[in-house]
Amino acid sequence: MDNDPKHTSKSTIEDLKRKHIIMTSMFYSASILYIYAFYSVETGTLPSDEAQMLTVMSQQVDDIWNTILIGIPIKNNPDNNTYGICNLQPNPKLNASEAKITGQVLFRQPYPNGKLEAHFNVEGFPLNHSESTRAVHIHNFGDLSNGCDSTGGHYNPFSVNHPQHPGDFGNFIVQDGKIQQRLTHLHATLFGPYSVFGKSIVVHKMADDLGKGDNQASLENGNAGTRLACCVIGSSSKTSWDKFTTSTKDS
């Protein structure tokens, strides 16, 4: 047996390089298949057998992205749903006079082809601002090191204008100091390369102008103003979903 530490170290490095090349090639190929399958099936350009085969392949690619790259156990609930939660905290960079917003945003999505559903339970708004409108969006980074300012801009993986970003949830009406609302059939997803796990949610002080303002900021963030509260989206369980969604109304 060769016990030369230099030889052992060199062999280890070469082995790691080979594994890196194999993994890189696998994910590159899988990504191509995912994109090919998605657009071919959506446009109806494949025979049904091939379309079904590629749909299955795209689901398997989602499995790889979620379990290996993102580390999310997609089948950890017996009801075949994947759950997420975001626990809102006030932006520590704000003046003391600003509202202290807290609450939860919860997500549920049936695996592998279901649409995302979200429940918003947000509180802390001034009671004298009842019926006011506030914007809520998904932002690019799950980084709260500088309060909500370090979450970056809107999550925009397809480089489109606001309000077409997958996390542009629109406006919410405050009633009795709270937002309690449910949204369904959302464009954001918990699965695959565009998963919002690890992204952030930001509650803004103003309403979203929905891209109708006469400036560039309108097409980037809807001129929604100060970031009042934020959180990072993480994986969750059905228990949390059931606990926090009982009093949320549909929208």
Q: Residue 156 half-sphere exposure, CB side, CA atoms within 13 Å?
A: 14
Query: Annotated catalytic, 137?
Result: yes
Q: What amino acid is encoded at 101 in this protein?
A: I
Residue 18 known to be catalytic: no
CB 232 within 8 A of CB 148: no
Options 134, 139, 208, 209, the catalytic residue: 139
Q: Which of 119, 134, 137, 208 is catalytic?
A: 137
Q: Between 48-64 and 5-43, two packed helices, what is the crossing angle to 10 degrees?
A: 140
Q: How big is the chain, counted in residues?
A: 251
Active site residue 119: no
Q: Which of 108, 119, 134, 154 is catalytic?
A: 154
Say which of 108, 119, 134, 165 is annotated catalytic: 165
Q: Is 162 a catalytic residue?
A: yes
**DSSP per residue, 111-126:** TTTPPEEEEEEEE---
Pair of tokens at residue 14:
């070469």
Report the C-alpha gap between 134 and 122 in whole angstroms: 11
Which one from 119, 134, 168, 209 is the annotated catalytic residue? 168
Element (H, E) at 83: strand 81-90
129 is catalytic: no
Catalytic residue among 108, 119, 134, 227: 227
**Cβ contact 237:84 at 8 Å:** no
Contact 218, 61 (CB under 8 A): no
Provide the token pair at 224: 């929604």
Q: Is 7 known to be catalytic?
A: no
Q: Which of 108, 119, 162, 209 is catalytic?
A: 162
Cα torsion angle, 24, 29, 30, 32, sign: positive
Which amino acid is located at 1 in the chain?
M
Query: Tokens 């490095």 label which residue?
Result: 13
Task: Count Cα atoms within 13 angstroms, Cβ side, for 166.
Answer: 19
Active-site residue, from 108, 119, 134, 204: 204
Positions marked catalytic: 137, 139, 154, 162, 165, 168, 204, 227
